[in-house]
Amino acid sequence: MSVLRLQICVSFALLTCAMPACALGVEQSAEKNSGRKAALTAASQTPPLKITLTRQKITTVDGQESIGSAEFAKPGDILQDTATYANVSNVPLKVTEATLPVPVNTVLQIRSLKPAGATASIDGRSFENLPIRRKSAQLGANATETEVDPGAYRFVRWLPGEIGPGKAVSFSARFRVVGEVVAPETSKD
């Protein structure tokens, strides 16, 4: 049986910390040549935001969902990606956006998005409320509005806002595997 080997990728857009640089472990000094020391100190510190991405395969048997490994998938399988943003600092962090790409050979399951309020993009530049709609090229009273096929969606985005100290927030989306199925790469030993 041919299967599709899936890779996880995620886009983490701008992270804005709602704290002064010194709270991030950057030493600030009035000395003119202290920039190098500050940069080294900042690099050696633990980042205030820990981001974890998981992918799981969802199977349903007799109405009961179970979660398993998503290393391999075939057409019809349902995958769930979850990005968890954890503030490991002792001050609030402002996260401006969390973006998940729609994996290749999959279709976004719009009703699966958690939390609600996500937007999507078909081009990676502009994000719109779901479902994305387009007006027909006809002018006047004959113009109609239709929903864009979810198979055209390429990215999903949430606007998390502030994450409190020691708190975490998760974003998840499910995708149905479609299209050509390719065999996974094998090592040639």
- Here the tokens at position 142 are 């004959």
Question: For the whole model, what pTM was predicted?
Answer: 0.70
C-beta separation of 75 from 178 below 8 A: yes
Paired with 107 in beta bridges are 176
Kindly indicate the confidence band of residue 97, based on its pLDDT and cuts at 50, 70 and 90: very high
C-beta separation of 170 from 82 below 8 A: yes
Q: Quick one: average pLDDT of 111-115?
A: 96
For the ranges 3-12, 78-87, 177-186, the lowest mean pLDDT is seen at 3-12
Q: Please tell me the distance from the alpha carbon of residue 126 to that of residue 120, in angstroms, as a whole number.
A: 8
Paired with 53 in beta bridges are 83
* Residue 138 predicted with pLDDT over 50: yes
Q: Please tell me the distance from the alpha carbon of residue 151 to that of residue 128, in angstroms, as a whole number.
A: 15
Per-residue pLDDT tens digits for 38-60 = 443 444 467 899 999 999 999 99
* Residue 1 predicted with pLDDT over 60: no
Residue 1 three-state SS = coil
